[in-house]
Amino acid sequence: MSAPTPPVKRFDDGSGRVKKDESRRGFLYFTPQKRRPSLYEELTVDTQPSPQRHLRGGWLISFADGRGTHSLGSTELRVKDWFDWRDPEGLWERPFYQQAAQAAREQDAAVASARSEGLFARIDEQWQAFLRSSLQLPAFYEHGLWRALCGASRPALSDSLTHAIVLEAAMKQRQAQDLVVYAMDLEAEIGECSTEAAKQRFLEEEAWQPVRALVERVYSVHDWAERVLAANLCIEPLVGNFLRREMLLVPASANGDPVTPVIIGNAQREWLWVREWTVEFVRFCLDDEEFGEHNREVLARWTQTWNAEAEAAAKAVAGELDRVPRARPADEALEQLRRERDEVQAALQSKEVAA
Amino acid sequence: MTKTHERIGQLGWEPTHHKPVSNYPTRYTFPKKAKDPMKQIMREYLPMQLEKDERMYGGFDAAVRANMATKAERRWLEVLKPFVHTTTYIEGCAGRVMSMLMDTVPNHELLNGYHVQFVDELRHIGMQQSLARWYTKNAPEPEGWAMGAKYYTGSPLTKAGYNMGTHCIVGDPLHCGLTMMAVLETAFTNIAFVALPDVGVRNGDFTLPTTYSSAQSDEARHISNGYATVLTLLQESSNIPLIQQDLASGWWSTHAFIDPFAGTLIEYFSKDRSDQESYLQKWDRWVNDDYYKSFIEQLGKLGLNMDPAPFVAARDRIVNGLIHQTAIFSFAIWPLAYWRFDGLDERDFEWFEARYPGWYDEYGPLWEGFNALKHPSEQALLLQGFLENSPPLCWSCMMSCLGDAEPLHRVVDGRTRFYCSEMCKRNDVDYPGRFTGDRQFFDKYHGWDLADVIRDIGFLHPDGKTLVGQPHIDDDKPLWTLDDIAACGCEIVSPNILTAERLGLPNGSWHDPSTPDGGVATGELGYVASSIGGDGLETGPGVRDLDGKGNGRKNLGGVVL
């Protein structure tokens, strides 16, 4: 557990009245990260009891194979106190719903506006054809990561980590659904946008198989932290951003599509949150006084493996960009994405991690 | 919306490149087809939840302006400390079991509903923690709230609630899921989130009903998840005996804590006596009619043959005084609680006597005794001599083995485990290795002075001497301190140890100070070797072979498997 924070200075208001002692009017059972506890900390921390925290007498209920209610062996990573980790953005349910509902509203408003202003008819015809055939393909990728992340949220070893993983999964599910909903809205404007046809391509087309295999592999892994970091440290920076930004966001604007940038803009804003908390999670593991070096080895191994797999998937699907009107060359796009991925992984400072 | 839902349903696929893994083995078989009970899409769901959030948090602000915290009955406000902590933990369990199910259940149709429920549960955690924070800042007495998460698992009264909630996240994920969705949420949220908040309103408390009504509006969907899960599993006949066993097990582990806990709160912490219904009448309405008859019995048409005995037995226990005996036990051990207790008065006595004829003759003297010992200058406690005559605590549910008959027991590894009921015994026997840790609160403290026990659990004001728990809510009366407790000379004894001795049974203690967690049946401990893989297994000397390949665990101590 962290060391106690210094006392908060209090000033006399000069009224001469005896002030009531308000020092007990807060949650005092955890050490806040800063001088005062944030609202996020008060609502999140210590909602998952543990013998490493306040639970005395050990786990009261165990699995038949001997694992405790939560198992420190559920990940290869080792941390002195998992409950010290905080989401730097401090996301909890209320701001999550505010932001996510806003994203849903923005999409609805963008569709309504495009419809009333006749903008769908002015979308480049090639892009219309691309939307009909390919808009929904990235939705399957998002849906696959959603499933992998959902499974990682139960074994995660602190309440704040579980919160972040569940909220990320909820974003992934909405991002996947946003594309399907947009496809349905588009059908009245540009013709059939079959989800089933997109699914067949995702399941069968050669270029997409490495992407499908990649997300399927994430939920074939037992280790919850490996699932999360494979997704957020290796796959999302390269494959996720390739699909969202390079395949959809950038060319959509160039082709006169006013809605896709709204949908993907929100997804990318959410990615920035994911990136931020993932980098903080990596820092947290590497800076651990007792286990930092062990974690560095584990993370180096994971990133080496998953970078290679993500690279293979990105290369396989990169050819698809040639069919996207006004997209930039795939090699150029991938170069930038690799640089950005390396920035996300910078804390690892290891030459082997780059594929 | 149905069309949208249908299209979104096409996002799922059967993985073929890599086989999905689960960290939670199950005995159940899954059929090919299932139904999505929720038909929930995020663009509909998110604004709906936001609207509910806005109303609820707006209610908090309004309640501050109206100074509601000081208008609510103090007796009621005090007991909300253990109530809110207990429900918040259970919300977390309700979320985590969804993750277990998503890792295990292959039917895509169910996964979306499970996931939406997990997001709901995060909402409920946020709401209920916000409520706790609201009381901390506004209620007359912040002690108990301020260190709540630390105290929650430390008091023998709430530790049993932690035990009950944990049932829903440990074990076969379908056993856990059925316990949460098809028992706790279907049968008991009506008690905890509807009937109990109604009592809150009667006691001038509007923030708790605002919060729990908002949570309850999500529960209908969670109940649907449970129903859809049962319907899906019933398609495979091999699942039927498993459902029957697990549903009965979950029913009992939930009843064994929730009924005495909620019943005590509703009946013994209400200052308002306008409520004509007893807890038993509420139970008949919400649990017997709306759950047992409307849900459990109807499952018979689908091939499930639930034994009515555990349901009948639960009701019988309430009829035979489960709530009243739990209440007086809870009040007697007030120094081990982190909230304040208000003894019953004449109006309360009349209310009880009108609903439970003969109540005063049986329990009245104990309540009179409690009231006579509110002042520290009495230098006496109801607890003195109380534990010597108390029944043992149940190994499984951790509540008292109430009733006149000798408690059921079983000898395991040369020690005696007592059970409050046949079902609690089955919950231990049928699920070996499930119950671990230093479970029986009083075993550890057998022979200790009460003041030292309180010092050890740390339920003290910042002055290091004033107790957080108090036997009165009167700010003009002095508060009990460790010195006052020490002056009583109250020695703690374990009813389990004494009962085993009285019956000539082997050692009734399951405390072992030489183990790291203090339990004889010790659970998983500390950090395991870094060679462990993601499956949590390790190799090497001393491991218990769990997969037939020499992989297992060695950090289990003497766990009884």
B239-269 residue pLDDT tens? 999 999 999 999 999 999 999 999 999 999 9
The two tokens of residue B145 are 């709230």
Q: Which of A74, A145, A154 to mutate to test the interface with B (most CBs of B within 10 A)?
A: A154
Number of neighbours of residue A252 by Cβ within 10 angstroms? 26
Q: Are B162 and B149 in contact (CB under 8 A)?
A: no
pLDDT score recorded for residue A4: 56
pLDDT score recorded for residue B71: 94
* Sequence-ordered alpha helix ranges (H) in B507-554: none
A340–chain B nearest CA distance, Å: 28
Q: Which of A40, A41, A47, A70 to mutate to test the interface with B (most CBs of B within 10 A)?
A: A47
pLDDT score recorded for residue B550: 58
Residue A218: Cβ-neighbour burial (10 angstroms; 0-12, 13-18, 19+):
buried
Phi, psi of B464 (to 5 degrees): 75, 5
pLDDT score recorded for residue B96: 97
**Secondary structure in 3-state letters for B172-238:** CHHHHHHHHHHHHHHHHHHHHHHHHHHHHHHCCCCHHHHHHHHHHHHHHHHHHHHHHHHHHHHCCHH
Nearest to A252 by CA among A128, A111, A103, A113: A128
Q: What would the pLDDT profile of A287-301 be if each residue is shown by its tens digit?
A: 999 899 999 999 999
- Residues from chain B that touch A26, judged by Cβ atoms under 8 A, are 136-137, 146
Residues of chain B with pLDDT under 70: 1, 37-38, 525-561
A230–chain B nearest CA distance, Å: 14
B367–chain A nearest CA distance, Å: 32
State the Cα–Cα distance between residues A163 and A147, nearest whole angstrom: 16
State the Cα–Cα distance between residues A42 and B126, nearest whole angstrom: 9
Burial call A148-167: b when 16+ CB within 10 Å, e when fewer: bbbbbbbbbbbbbbbbbbbb
Considering only alpha carbons, which residue of chain B is nearest residue A94?
B53
- Residues from chain A that touch B119, judged by Cβ atoms under 8 A, are 166-167, 170
Nearest to A70 by CA among A156, A9, A131: A156
Considering only alpha carbons, which residue of chain A is nearest residue B398?
A60
- Residues from chain B that touch A167, judged by Cβ atoms under 8 A, are 119, 122
Residue B412: Cβ-neighbour burial (10 angstroms; 0-12, 13-18, 19+):
middle
* Region at A132 (left for phi over 0; alpha for psi -120 to 50; beta for the rest): alpha
> Within an 8 Å CB–CB cutoff, is residue A201 touching chain B?
no
- A-contacting residues of B 69-98, CB under 8 Å? 88-89, 92, 95-98
pLDDT score recorded for residue B142: 96
A166–chain B nearest CA distance, Å: 7
> Within an 8 Å CB–CB cutoff, is residue B524 touching chain A?
yes
Residue showing tokens 């009921």: B421
pLDDT score recorded for residue A14: 66
pLDDT score recorded for residue A9: 54
pLDDT score recorded for residue B501: 98
The confidence band for A318, taking pLDDT boundaries of 50, 70 and 90, is very high
The two tokens of residue A20 are 């009531």
Identify the DSSP state of B460. B
> Within an 8 Å CB–CB cutoff, is residue B214 touching chain A?
no
Q: What would the pLDDT profile of A75-98 be if each residue is shown by its tens digit?
A: 989 898 999 999 999 999 999 999
- Residues from chain B that touch A78, judged by Cβ atoms under 8 A, are 527, 530
Neighbouring residues of B215: CB distance < 8 A, sequence distance ≥ 6: B91, B123, B124, B127, B128, B193
Given a cut of 60, whether residue A188 has pLDDT beyond it is: yes
pLDDT score recorded for residue A16: 66
Q: Which of A50, A93, A165 to mutate to test the interface with B (most CBs of B within 10 A)?
A: A93
Residue showing tokens 């009349």: B350
The confidence band for A15, taking pLDDT boundaries of 50, 70 and 90, is low
CA B552 to chain centre: 31
Please say whether the dihedral angle defined by the alpha carbons of residues A199, A205, A209 and A211, taken in this order, is positive or negative.
negative
Interchain pair A170, B7: CB under 8 A: no
B354–chain A nearest CA distance, Å: 40
Identify the DSSP state of B434. -
Q: Quote the ipTM score.
A: 0.93
> Within an 8 Å CB–CB cutoff, is residue A167 touching chain B?
yes
Nearest to B41 by CA among A104, A196, A109: A104
- B-contacting residues of A 217-236, CB under 8 Å? 217, 219-224, 226
State the Cα–Cα distance between residues A117 and B196, nearest whole angstrom: 53
For the entire predicted model, the pTM comes to 0.94
Q: Which of B16, B36, B50 to mutate to test the interface with A (most CBs of A within 10 A)?
A: B50
Considering only alpha carbons, which residue of chain B is nearest residue A181?
B4
Q: What would the pLDDT profile of A142-157 be if each residue is shown by its tens digit?
A: 999 999 999 999 999 9
Identify the DSSP state of B170. S
pLDDT-wise least confident of A124-138, A193-207, B27-41, B506-520: B27-41
DSSP B66-79: TTHHHHS-HHHHHH
> Within an 8 Å CB–CB cutoff, is residue B543 touching chain A?
no
pLDDT score recorded for residue B38: 66
> Within an 8 Å CB–CB cutoff, is residue A60 touching chain B?
yes
Higher-confidence residue of A141 and A71: namely A141
Interchain pair A58, B159: CB under 8 A: no
> Within an 8 Å CB–CB cutoff, is residue B169 touching chain A?
yes
Nearest to A61 among B20, B434, B546 (CB): B434
β-bridge partners, A248: none
Neighbouring residues of A131: CB distance < 8 A, sequence distance ≥ 6: A123, A183, A186, A190, A193, A257, A260
> Within an 8 Å CB–CB cutoff, is residue B435 touching chain A?
yes
Interchain pair B536, A67: CB under 8 A: yes
Nearest to A53 by CA among A189, A159, A200, A146: A159
